[in-house]
Amino acid sequence: MKPFRFVDKNLNLELEKIAVKKSFPANHVLMTPGDVIRFIPLVVKGSIRIMLQNNNGDEYFLYHIFPGESCAMSLTCCLAQKKSGVKAIMEENTELLLVPVRYVDEWTKYPEWKNFVSDVQAQRFGELLETIELMAFSKLDEQLWNYLIKRVQATGNNTLKITHQEIANELYSPREVITRLLHQLQKQQKISLSRNSILVNGAM
């Protein structure tokens, strides 16, 4: 399936004419809090990791954006004429269609685009509720396991090239705690630890 091939031919023509296709390498930072949003990213290939970041630079993983999807935060901020409130990082080598923000509102004349924007916002809202529920009601070991599964699903690779400190940063937890919990997961045979990498068993 080709992402962003709409039924409405006129909408497809506008998308092909207006959107700029760009490729970004893994770990490229597309957006940070406070950035003026000039383009809306539509993911064609790869995935984007969305992080919540406070004024001190502390981060927490929120969700991923996959092919055929867009960033609800960007859509909401541009419609409200606000600056970005999140950090967006390429999870892997990723191809995007970049749509200038003015067209997000202009294209609402196409019911299919209007439905797409609504669906993206509804899906992301559900994922945010899931994240809030994990943070509020789940133990850190459950949050960690969920985080590892989400990263594997985003990359399609059971082996994550990541350090304990990087995980600690993205789960807003002390590194020593993350290391202890990772060793517990290894004892449960859910993961295998190597230097700067983690093999997540049975996650695919």
Contacts 24+ apart (CB under 8 A), 56-61: 58/169, 58/172, 59/87, 59/169, 59/170, 59/172, 60/135, 60/170, 60/171, 60/172, 61/131, 61/147, 61/150, 61/170, 61/171
More confident residue, 84 or 18: 18
pLDDT digits (tens, 9 = 90+) for 157-182: 899 999 999 999 888 888 999 999 99
CATH class of the structural domain 138-200: mainly alpha
Q: Rounded to two decimals, what is the model's pTM?
A: 0.75
How much is the pLDDT for 155?
A: 85
Q: What string of H, E and C letters represents the secondary structure of 103-133?
A: HHHHHHHCHHHHHHHHHHHHHHHHHHHHHHH
How much is the pLDDT for 189?
A: 92
For 136, counting Cβ atoms within 10 Å of its Cβ (0-12 exposed, 13-18 middle, 19+ buried), the class is exposed
Q: In the chain, where are the structural domains located?
A: 9-136, 138-200
Residue 160 β-bridge partners: 198
How much is the pLDDT for 96?
A: 96
Identical fold between 9-136 and 138-200: no
**β-pair type (94-100, 159-160):** unpaired
Task: Look at the domain 9-136 and name its fold.
Answer: Jelly Rolls (2.60.120)
Residue 190 near residue 181, CB atoms below 8 Å:
no
